[in-house]
Amino acid sequence: MSDYSAFKVELTDHIAHVQINRPEKINAMNAAFWREIIDIFQWIEDTDEVRVVVLSGAGKHFSSGIDLMMLASIANELGKDVGRNARLLRRKILQMQASFSVVDRCSKPVLAAVQGYCIGGAIDLISACDMRYAADDALFSIREIDMGMAADVGTLQRLPRLIGDGMMREMAYTGRNVKADEALRIGLVNRTFADLPQLLDGVFEIAREIAAKSPIAISGSKRMIGYMRDHSVDDGLEYVATWNAAMLQSADLKLAMVAHMGKQKPVFDN
């Protein structure tokens, strides 16, 4: 793996472990973070050996969100003309969004493991993941409202697809803390674990299960589910028919059948 300053990345047994690695700064998202995450997910996309991704934060907390120093440096670029400032800000926001859209568009499942603070930009990030799991001490908050702004890196766009509309609005308007058990109840996380070691154990076990499936079938399933966020049922049906017109000709189907008949576990190529 390349050298990253904001992340630590490891690949073992088809699982890429992507760790935000600035624990001394509560994993605040600095300029390097926003840049490196794009490279990391490009590598994940291009590396057939990677079949599933676990995203976690080093230290006691998942992440405190965007680094305020970075916001300050953007503010410094602003000039006098409101129109040209708007043009600049729009570009910057679109760029930052792109850093999380690579997570969303990744053709391989991304599992977020959350302990401690998961605040502001960190909510934007986990909203772009496939599934979310939490340790009991996890604490979620859409903190942007307290910075005098509407969240603009994905929370307000993706979270309403994950949790109910009523709780979505309460979280967005009040910025209040949501603990692990409430997060579970409202569907923000799939499961909770007693502490960080158990959380990582549990998430890696799910990751291993997924890594053992046909990568062709996994990426197809992921694209189809993602597609349904924004398309009609009829569109989705036609799309999967077209998709599987090619994919059902893959060797994986036969391989799985044979294994199934022989009551054995199939082993799939990347």
Q: Does residue 66 carry a catalytic annotation?
A: yes
- Of residues 132-191, those binding its own copies (CB under 8 A): 132, 144-152, 154, 156-158, 160-170, 172-176, 186-190
Which are the contacts of 97, defined by CB distance < 8 A and separation ≥ 6?
A: 152, 153, 154
Q: Which is nearer to its own copies, 4 or 202 (CB)?
A: 202
Q: Does residue 181 carry a catalytic annotation?
A: no
> Cβ 11 to its own copies, closest distance in Å?
19
Q: Does residue 124 carry a catalytic annotation?
A: yes
DSSP codes, the chain: ----SSEEEEEETTEEEEEE--GGGTT-B-HHHHHHHHHHHHHHHH-TT--EEEEEESSS-SB--B-HHHHHHHHHH--S-HHHHHHHHHHHHHHHHHHHHHHHH-SS-EEEEE-SEEETHHHHHHHTSSEEEEETT-EEE-GGGGGTS---SSHHHHGGGTS-HHHHHHHHHH---EEHHHHHHTTSSSEEESSHHHHHHHHHHHHHHHHTS-HHHHHHHHHHHHHHTSS-HHHHHHHHHHHHHHHTTSHHHHHHHHHHHTT-------
- Of residues 1-60, those binding its own copies (CB under 8 A): none
Among residues 152, 163, 170, 226, the one annotated as catalytic is 152
Using a 10 angstrom Cβ sphere, with 0-12 exposed, 13-18 middle and 19 or more buried, the burial of residue 190 is: middle
CA distance 240 to 71: 42
Q: Does residue 121 carry a catalytic annotation?
A: yes
Among residues 36, 124, 130, 137, the one annotated as catalytic is 124
Q: Pick one of 12, 76, 233, 263: the residue that binds its own copies (CB under 8 A).
A: 233
> Of the listed pieces 9-17, 28-36, 54-62, 83-91, which binds its own copies according to CB under 8 A?
83-91
Among residues 15, 40, 66, 218, the one annotated as catalytic is 66
Under the binding rule (CB under 8 A), the answer on residue 232 touching its own copies is: yes
- Of residues 244-263, those binding its own copies (CB under 8 A): 244-257, 260
- Of residues 99-128, those binding its own copies (CB under 8 A): 101, 104, 109
Q: Which is nearer to its own copies, 36 or 144 (CB)?
A: 144
- Of residues 187-216, those binding its own copies (CB under 8 A): 187-190, 206, 209-210, 213-214, 216
> Of the listed pieces 8-16, 26-34, 58-66, 227-235, which binds its own copies according to CB under 8 A?
227-235
- Of residues 85-104, those binding its own copies (CB under 8 A): 85-87, 89-90, 93-94, 97, 101, 104
Q: Does residue 39 carry a catalytic annotation?
A: no
Active site residues: 66, 121, 124, 144, 152
